Amino acid sequence: MVGDSKVKVPMEFRMKLTPSLNKSAADMTLYRQMTGSLMYLTVSRPYIMFSVCYCARFQANPREPHMTAVKNIFRYLKRTSSLGIWYPSSSGFFVQAFSDADLGGCNLDRKSTTGGS
């Protein structure tokens, strides 16, 4: 379960990713492929949406700390492969969704952050 104390969330609480221009550059193509794959996975694992979208902000100029954060999300997914949402095809089910917004909350560029579950 997501709330299980033994399961570590994808990004550490209050982890700060910055442009990190003084760090070495990461492979932009690989970084974009990895974040794209993670965006696809948010359909069945909506609780990783915030972490993935936060990392996706740095696609224009990814640095090593950003690549490390993306790799940490993949490590988390590997450890928690039994978690996720299963959508049954043969029976009806009720979907209820919630969303959250932080308007202008990013200290870097004052962009808004949204998330859903």
Whole-number Å distance between alpha carbons of 5 and 113? 26
Would 1 be classed as within a structural domain?
A: no
Domain span including residue 57: 23-77
- Summarised one tens digit per residue, pLDDT across range 60-96 is 999 998 999 999 999 999 998 887 777 777 777 677 7
* 83 within a domain of the structure (yes/no): no
CA distances to 5, 40, 47 from 66, rounded to whole Å, are 25, 19, 19
Residue 68 lies in a domain: yes
Spatial neighbors of 13 by CB under 8 A, at least 6 apart, are none
Q: What is this structure's pTM?
A: 0.63
Is 73 contained in some domain?
yes
Predicted pLDDT of residue 38? 94
Is residue 28 in a domain?
yes
Number of domains in the chain: 1
> What does the pLDDT average to over 96-109?
68
Is 44 inside a domain boundary?
yes
Residue 94 placed within a domain: no
pLDDT digits (tens, 9 = 90+) for 34-66: 999 999 998 888 888 888 988 998 999 999 989
State residue 4's pLDDT score: 45
- The confidence score (pLDDT) of residue 7 equals 46
